[in-house]
Structure 1
Amino acid sequence: MSFLVHYPAPPLSAFVEYFYSPAGPMPYAIEKVMPMPCADLKINFGDPFHARRAGEGAATEALRDSWCMGLWDEYHTVTWPTNPDYIGVRFRPGGGFAVLGVEADELANQVVALDAVLGRFAGEVRERLYEAGGAQARFQVLETLLTRAIRRWPDSGRIAPALTALAESHGHVQVGDLAQSAGVSQKHLITLFNRIIGVPPKTLARLYRLQYLLDTVDIARPVVWTEVAQDHLYFDQAHFNKDFKRFTGHTPGEYLALRRRVAAETPDHAGHTRLLRAG
């Protein structure tokens, strides 16, 4: 499975990492989506999606038109439509706050209809994109619309150095150092992170560490998990195992087996470390 990807130009690139659109059906009908340090927006033109939280037996109501998924600190499961047709937006941490103007903690671990966030403008965006036709034209239209929507939030700029430090260190920065870089107390930094990012600094750091771990573990070679835990500065093996299962729903060994199964069955899909076959 491959995706068409478009990287926006400044100033939007400070808030949006990339746009994406599927180039064909998904190889598995149901997949787990690993938590990552980003919020996500989808504008759908095809059949509905279904999603459910970790541990829930039933899927949510059908996701049909457009929706925003805040930053999650747990995996969730998605049932894909047979022939997906949508444009997705992967926001950088805090990007949804700056562009959509919504408090991030209101979206955390939630899937929210876009019209609840943007009102009538959500329908106008979807209609403009539908009329644009193919993915590349839709990318250009959406980039223009989101660039015009950028809000100038002083608090976003205040925590920008902290966000840069977390990203560049893959989450290995002390909260006290982040607060100092932002020029605020640790308590106020947590308040700002909850409002702008949707989670506290420590949670975002853990998500950055998980993302880096999943992206760098080599599933084609023997994996010694004790060494992985040490390399990623986990306190001990028990802490690593608990954190890993909390986020992915699997032990490290189970996760590795599933990744290898996907690589054997659908090699083109194996690079999507955030997606894991369900069952």
Structure 2
Amino acid sequence: MEYVGRVPCPPLDRFVDDIYCLTGVPRHRRMNIPPMPSAHLFLNLGGPVRLRDSDPAVPPAVLADGWFLGVWTRRFLVEYPARVRLVGVHFKPWGMSPFLDMPASELRDRWVPVDAVWRRSVDRIRNQVGDIASATETLRVLEAELLSRLAEAPSRGLDLVLHAGGRLEMSDGTIPIGALTARAGVSGNHLAAQFKAHVGVTPKRVARIYRFARLITSVDTLRPVDWSELAHAAGYFDRAHFSREFKDFTGHTPTEYLALRRRFPAEPGFPPDAGPMPAD
């Protein structure tokens, strides 16, 4: 499967990590996706994609057109069709906020059809990119769509979230939340309320996900792994807490995860594979 992506132009780069095309035959049909510091937009140009929550009480979904995924606080499973053709957006955790007229809290741990948010837009976008062979041109169309939908004036509290969220991103979630509130001159409750409105979760939760992402991306499966050293470098100072969170986020112990990664190495130059892992 081929991944072609790029960082969009300003001002989109304040809200989007990258836009991309995913095409071809997947090496693994079923992927286990841990929480990562991102929200997503998917426009599906191929066969249906199946999503399954790690919470067994949540019914699985079959998604054929387009859907938004908010920030996830637990893992979920995606099952690709035999051949994939998908256009996507990796938003920063707060990145969906200026594009959607709804609180981000309504998208926490949820997938929502694009047409439920952007009325009657999926068919139009699919028609624009459906016959385009070039990934570069497809990404140009997607970038233009995002620019046309970017709110001219930031909604209340978004600037605060951008500033605080940027510091969490730069520190990989290790900066104390008290330092964020002191720097911003606001109370912890106010910052938490703004994060829930624009991210869907509290800054403490965002910090946890950034910290976990730092740990996952620092694993070098070609060398012996000192989990205590990696955990400490990522900001985990309690080994028991680290072990519990790792199992919650991946469904595996660190040892099991490492064995899985060594059995199924990540594809070079394939950003989505930094966190997701085969489930088959």
**TM-score, normalised relative to structure 2:** 0.92
Q: Relative to structure 1, is the Cα distance of residues 241 and 133 closer, same or farther in structure 2, using a 3 angstrom cutoff? A: same
Which structure features the higher share of helix residues? 1
CA distance in 2, matches of 1:261, 1:102: 42
Amino-acid identity (%): 35
Instruction: Answer yes or no: is the 8 Å Cα contact 1:115–1:123 preserved in 2.
Output: no
> SS where residue 98 of structure 1 aligns?
helix
For 1:201-216, list aligned pairs within 5 A.
Answer: 201-216=203-218
Query: Among 200, 215, 239, which residue is 1:198 paired with?
Result: 200
Amino acid of the residue matched to residue 203 of structure 1? Answer: R
Instruction: Answer yes or no: is the 8 Å Cα contact 2:218–2:230 preserved in 1.
Output: no
Q: Does 1:116 align with 2:116?
A: yes
Q: Relative to structure 1, is the Cα distance of residues 224 and 159 closer, same or farther in structure 2, using a 3 angstrom cutoff? A: same
CA distance in 2, matches of 1:58, 1:30: 18
Q: Which runs of 5+ in 2 are unaligned?
A: none
Q: What's the CA shift for 1:126?
A: 2.8
Q: What's the CA shift for 1:169?
A: 0.6
Instruction: Report the number of matched residues.
Output: 277
Q: What's the CA shift for 1:135?
A: 2.3
- Give 2:88's aligned residue: 88
Q: Relative to structure 1, is the Cα distance of residues 95 and 253 closer, same or farther in structure 2, using a 3 angstrom cutoff? A: same
Q: Relative to structure 1, is the Cα distance of residues 15 and 58 closer, same or farther in structure 2, using a 3 angstrom cutoff? A: closer
CA distance in 2, matches of 1:219, 1:255: 10
Amino acid of the residue matched to residue 82 of structure 1? Answer: A
Q: What's the CA shift for 1:125?
A: 2.6
Q: What's the CA shift for 1:104?
A: 0.9
Q: What's the CA shift for 1:192?
A: 0.6
- Give 2:24's aligned residue: 24
For 1:171-250, list aligned pairs within 5 A.
Answer: 171-250=173-252
Q: What's the CA shift for 1:159?
A: 2.0
- 1:83-113 CA distance string (max 9 Å, x none): 1111000011211111233311111100110
Instruction: Answer yes or no: is the 8 Å Cα contact 1:2–1:269 preserved in 2.
Output: no
> SS where residue 264 of structure 2 aligns?
helix
Instruction: Answer yes or no: is the 8 Å Cα contact 1:241–1:251 preserved in 2.
Output: yes
Q: What's the CA shift for 1:128?
A: 2.4
Amino acid of the residue matched to residue 121 of structure 1? Answer: S
- Give 2:73's aligned residue: 73
> SS where residue 43 of structure 2 aligns?
strand
Moved over 3 A (4+): 131-134, 266-271
Q: What's the CA shift for 1:133?
A: 4.6
> SS where residue 17 of structure 2 aligns?
strand
Instruction: Answer yes or no: is the 8 Å Cα contact 1:159–1:182 preserved in 2.
Output: no
Q: What's the CA shift for 1:230?
A: 2.0
- 1:1-46 CA distance string (max 9 Å, x none): 4301122111111111111112421101111012111100000111
CA distance in 2, matches of 1:96, 1:244: 27
CA distance in 2, matches of 1:231, 1:6: 29
> SS where residue 85 of structure 1 aligns?
strand
- 1:219-238 CA distance string (max 9 Å, x none): 11111212222222213210
Q: Which runs of 5+ in 1 are unaligned?
A: none
- Give 2:275's aligned residue: 274
Amino acid of the residue matched to residue 278 of structure 2? Answer: R
Amino acid of the residue matched to residue 261 of structure 1? Answer: R
Aligned alpha-carbon RMSD (Å): 1.9
CA distance in 1, matches of 2:184, 2:149: 25
Q: Relative to structure 1, is the Cα distance of residues 28 and 269 closer, same or farther in structure 2, using a 3 angstrom cutoff? A: farther
> SS where residue 274 of structure 2 aligns?
coil
> SS where residue 148 of structure 1 aligns?
helix
Q: What's the CA shift for 1:67?
A: 0.3
Instruction: Answer yes or no: is the 8 Å Cα contact 1:262–1:270 preserved in 2.
Output: no
Instruction: Answer yes or no: is the 8 Å Cα contact 1:213–1:232 preserved in 2.
Output: yes
Q: Relative to structure 1, is the Cα distance of residues 230 and 158 closer, same or farther in structure 2, using a 3 angstrom cutoff? A: closer
